[in-house]
Amino acid sequence: MRPSFYSGWKHVFKLDPDRDIGDEALEAVCASGTDAILVGGSSGVTFDNTVELMSRIRRYEVPCAFELSDPACGVPGFDGYFIPSVLNTKRAEWLIGHHAAAIREFGHLLPWDSIVGEAYLVLNPDATVAKLTEADADISPAEAVAFAQVADRLWNVPVLYVEYSGTFGDMELLGTIRNTLHQAHLFYGGGIDGPDKAAQAALRADTVVVGNIIYENLAAALATVNAVNQAVKEQKDVLRKG
């Protein structure tokens, strides 16, 4: 059976171990009513800064998962682990090579019951993750949908993550991708700077990921929790009545 610890998440905050967050802000984030905290970052993530952030988040009841992209940062104690692959990378190691090498070495240590594969579709060429993985982010909507279908239909990935990190994405494309998905759970992240954009994304993705704005405008970040829940509720009401 696949792990499904993430299946009810509508809203998550993503915290970067390589960025500073004060105790008060962290408490506000963890007690905000978000469904989970996702720990991860594209650069500067180490075992030590991951342990430190996890132990601070662990003071609160909110579920906490980790995007594990470097086996050297395999910190135990999270509620779940996502192992990312980049669908549209030009370099095979970011799709499968690093994963195979890590499993060869550490596979016997991995808590498989709480590990989920996460297929990233990186669509902002300026994002750090796009540069790091040499993702071919300037692709047409039809190509993006095709990548999503490979992940969903051919590979049966549990999670498809449409990643626009740093900029707000094409909501029409996100909706199209969602409509083509057969089984994958859809994460959306990128450029959500307040309730309006959070609500738009919530109408199209299963889980909305809010990152950078936490560090820039905490009040706006916190307002996204209610916006997502409200949008999901209104959508359900419409579907029920229709």
What residues form the annotated binding site?
14, 16, 42, 161-166, 191, 211-212
Q: What pairs with residue 118 in β-bridges? A: 84, 159
Query: Which residue, 71 or 166, has its beta carbon nearer to ligand 1GP?
Result: 166
* Position with the least CB separation from ligand 1GP: 189
With 0-12 / 13-18 / 19 or more C-beta atoms within 10 angstroms meaning exposed / middle / buried, residue 140 is: exposed
Radius of gyration of the chain (CA): 17
How far apart, in whole angstroms, are the C-alpha atoms of residue 16 and residue 221?
15
Query: Which residue, 14 or 204, has its beta carbon nearer to ligand 1GP?
Result: 14
How far apart, in whole angstroms, are the C-alpha atoms of residue 126 and residue 108?
37
Query: Which residue, 60 or 215, has its beta carbon nearer to ligand 1GP?
Result: 215
**CB 71 to ligand 1GP: min, Å:** 20
State the amino acid at position 182 in one-letter form.
H
**CB 196 to ligand 1GP: min, Å:** 14
Query: Which residue, 63 or 190, has its beta carbon nearer to ligand 1GP?
Result: 190
**CB 232 to ligand 1GP: min, Å:** 18
State the sign of the Cα–Cα–Cα–Cα dihedral 144, 86, 136, 189: positive
Query: Which residue, 207 or 229, has its beta carbon nearer to ligand 1GP?
Result: 207
Q: Which residues form the interface with ligand 1GP (CB under 6 A)?
A: 14, 163, 165-166, 189-192, 209-213
Tell me the CA distances in angstroms from 240 to 154, 175, 233, 234, 237, one per residue in order.
Answer: 32, 20, 10, 10, 5
Q: Are the C-beta atoms of 123 and 150 separated by less than 8 Å?
A: no
**CB 205 to ligand 1GP: min, Å:** 11
Q: Give the residue numbers of the binding site for sn-glycerol 1-phosphate.
A: 14, 161-166, 191, 211-212
**CB 238 to ligand 1GP: min, Å:** 27
How far apart, in whole angstroms, are the C-alpha atoms of residue 57 and residue 197?
26
Name the token pair of 224.
């996204």
Q: H or E stretch including 126?
A: none
**CB 190 to ligand 1GP: min, Å:** 5
Query: Which residue, 69 or 109, has its beta carbon nearer to ligand 1GP?
Result: 69
Q: Which residue has the tokens 């007690």?
A: 31
Q: Give the residue numbers of the binding site for Mg(2+).
A: 16, 42
Tell me the CA distances in angstroms from 110 to 2, 97, 98, 101, one per residue in order.
Answer: 15, 17, 15, 13
